[in-house]
Structure 1
Amino acid sequence: MIKLIASDMDGTLLDSKMSISKDNASAIREAERLGVEFMVATGRAYTEAKPALEEAGIECAMITLNGAKVFDKEGNSLFTAGIEKTIATEILDILETHNIYFEVSTNKGIYSEKQEKRIENFASHIATTMPHLTYKVAIAMASAHLALLDITYIEDMRALIKQEDIEVLKIIGFSMDGPKVLAPASTHIRQLADLAITSSAQNNIEINHKNAQKGIAVAHVAKNRGISKEEVMTIGDNFNDVSMLQWAEVSFAMGNAELEVKDHAKYVTSTNLENGVGEAILRAIREDL
């Protein structure tokens, strides 16, 4: 029987309003009632992931920043895997060479040098995932959503990275031109040591330490709980979910997942707009997967 469920958030647990639907929340509570632990495994930072969970009344452990930082249910840090500072600076150099906007997630929060670019890129993501919206509406939604998130705008990212009390946990690059621009930059970055490069959307690349992967983090949590991989279920939709879909004995790809991602999952559920997470959880319970 399943004892631990780890679900991605964007494109998976969250709907078009970046919220957790009542059906998904109900299925999570049913799993918890039966003694199954639920947790999220997201590319988001803790402060970005927490609001949607709180709104749905869900308290759970959290794998954040693709596995760079893991928290227990009470918000205590359990595991950290950061990027070495000289490597982080080289990554920024490469992203700037390719004219890619970037944000840096640290132990002190998320930092950006360009507020306008952040809104533009998030709006592009919304417009891509919800093509029925006009770009003007997407910009308005992006501005409203980002206003709720903690981010600090600074002038010099490299000076920040040099500070002794700063740990670089994840660097994310965005381009509205998608893979045409991001793929060459990714190839360049892969030449650096000890990195894992994934993506959670067509318009981004996410760069972590090689030990900061969702699969590694889920395995770490399961081991601490005394839970075997046969008793773990994972749910995701994009390339930063592949490592945990491959590791768990029971894995679900969303109906809206990338085709290559579906190849790494044992099962496919409905889309994130059709309560696919809740459907997968209830199926796992019903069929004792």
Structure 2
Amino acid sequence: MDKIKLVMVDLDETILFSNTEISKATSQTIQRLLDNNIEVVIATGRYFQSIPRIFIDNKRIKYIVSSNGALITNNQTNAIIYNKDLDYKTVLSIIEKADNKDRHMFISTTKGVFIDENLLNDKLVDSNEFFKLLKSHAVVVKDMYSYIKENKQAVKKIEIAFNDLKFRDDLYTYLQTLKDVTIVSSHHTNIEATNQNVSKGLALEFLIDQLNLNKDETLAIGDNDNDLSMIQMAGIGIAMKNSSPLLLENADLITASIDDDGFTKAIERIFNF
């Protein structure tokens, strides 16, 4: 399809295996898109410093969207072109509502990434490459509420995981009623909060405007609830077979799972190369 000029793609469980690797087919597909002058935009819930070097080092990839859209970086010049923080008072309110029932939490800020002691001691994530990286360079905070309050720390994203899923679901529903925050999830156990003017969909809308494109000239592909806004914003929204029920219900197309190179199969279905 010649009219598509931009492809926005999620990372984890869409093209990224085990938090660190992509398949040979995915790598070749990304290069093929770039060879055909199609913008490939990485859009992830990860904070910028945790994005694998395979994407950062590929300077043909011009735009990287991180923290669910709170930060958009020009990967060729390293310039920040969009940046929205969550007010520290809102973050304090969210932590209060979590009521010390979280399994762990972490925040990403302009000053770095901060984790609580629960995450440091959470053995359930020890085998996860993302959390290994997170623990290796994050600052451990004994009391996240007090730290944010004392430092009036603005936050790009706060992520909280829970063992009590009913409590998590009730809190998720409540937080979605707040006007000054965007609430999404990238896993059924977590809650991710950002500024109300932040989402992957809004990031795509921003880039559409920056590049003077039409919505119909864009394609987005993802696998989880935090990808919903971008597949709804794009001219073509595609869900991986391994996607959450919400994404599967709202996608224009469903492709194969990540284990079956769903990204490549979707691109081959849409494009004539």
Question: TM-score under structure 2 normalisation?
Answer: 0.89
Query: C-alpha offsets along residues 62-81 of structure 1, whole Å, 9 cap, x if unaligned?
Result: 11111111111233211112
Kindly report which structure 2 residues correspond to 1:95-114, keeping only aligned pairs within 5 A, or say none: 95-114=98-117
Query: Could you tell me which of 244, 257, 273 is aligned with 2:243?
Result: 257
- For the Cα contact (< 8 Å) 2:20–2:52, is it kept in 1? no
1:21 maps to which residue? 23
Query: Could you tell me which of 256, 273, 278 is aligned with 2:259?
Result: 273
Kindly report which structure 2 residues correspond to 1:1-289, keeping only aligned pairs within 5 A, or say none: 1-16=3-18, 18-54=20-56, 59-74=61-76, 75-114=78-117, 116=119, 119-121=122-124, 123=125, 139=126, 141-142=127-128, 145-149=130-134, 150-162=137-149, 166-177=153-164, 179-286=165-272
- For the Cα contact (< 8 Å) 1:175–1:182, is it kept in 2? yes
Query: C-alpha offsets along residues 151-187 of structure 1, whole Å, 9 cap, x if unaligned?
Result: 221223234424668421111111234x323112223
- For the Cα contact (< 8 Å) 2:5–2:218, is it kept in 1? yes
- For the Cα contact (< 8 Å) 2:101–2:162, is it kept in 1? no
My pick for the range that moved more, 97-106 or 42-51, is 97-106
Equivalent residue letter for 2:159: I
Q: For the structure 1 residues 89 and 145, does the alpha-carbon distance in structure 2 shift closer, same or farther, using more than 3 Å as the test?
A: closer
My pick for the range that moved more, 185-194 or 77-86, is 185-194
Residue 260 of structure 1 deviates from its aligned partner by 2.3
User: Partners in 1 of 2:202 and 2:49 — Cα distance?
Assistant: 22
SS at match of 2:208: helix
- For the Cα contact (< 8 Å) 2:105–2:119, is it kept in 1? no
Q: For the structure 1 residues 240 and 187, does the alpha-carbon distance in structure 2 shift closer, same or farther, using more than 3 Å as the test?
A: same
Residue 87 of structure 1 deviates from its aligned partner by 1.0
RMSD (Å), alpha carbons: 2.3
Question: TM-score under structure 1 normalisation?
Answer: 0.84
User: Partners in 2 of 1:12 and 1:231 — Cα distance?
Assistant: 21
Number of residue pairs matched by the alignment: 268
SS at match of 1:103: strand
- For the Cα contact (< 8 Å) 2:46–2:67, is it kept in 1? yes
Q: For the structure 1 residues 236 and 206, does the alpha-carbon distance in structure 2 shift closer, same or farther, using more than 3 Å as the test?
A: same
Q: Which is helix-richer, 1 or 2?
A: 1
Equivalent residue letter for 1:245: I
- For the Cα contact (< 8 Å) 1:28–1:281, is it kept in 2? no
Q: For the structure 1 residues 116 and 101, does the alpha-carbon distance in structure 2 shift closer, same or farther, using more than 3 Å as the test?
A: closer
User: Partners in 2 of 1:283 and 1:89 — Cα distance?
Assistant: 46
User: Partners in 1 of 2:237 and 2:95 — Cα distance?
Assistant: 34
1:131 maps to which residue? none
My pick for the range that moved more, 2-11 or 275-284, is 275-284
Q: Which has the higher contact order (CA 8 A, sep 6+)?
A: 1
Residue 284 of structure 1 deviates from its aligned partner by 1.9
User: Partners in 1 of 2:121 and 2:208 — Cα distance?
Assistant: 35
User: Partners in 2 of 1:100 and 1:277 — Cα distance?
Assistant: 32
User: Partners in 2 of 1:145 and 1:213 — Cα distance?
Assistant: 21
Residue 117 of structure 1 deviates from its aligned partner by 5.1
Q: For the structure 1 residues 211 and 59, does the alpha-carbon distance in structure 2 shift closer, same or farther, using more than 3 Å as the test?
A: same
5+ unaligned residues in a row in structure 1: which ranges? 124-138
- For the Cα contact (< 8 Å) 1:31–1:285, is it kept in 2? no
- For the Cα contact (< 8 Å) 1:94–1:188, is it kept in 2? no
Equivalent residue letter for 1:237: D
- For the Cα contact (< 8 Å) 2:120–2:140, is it kept in 1? no
User: Partners in 2 of 1:251 and 1:145 — Cα distance?
Assistant: 26
5+ unaligned residues in a row in structure 2: which ranges? none
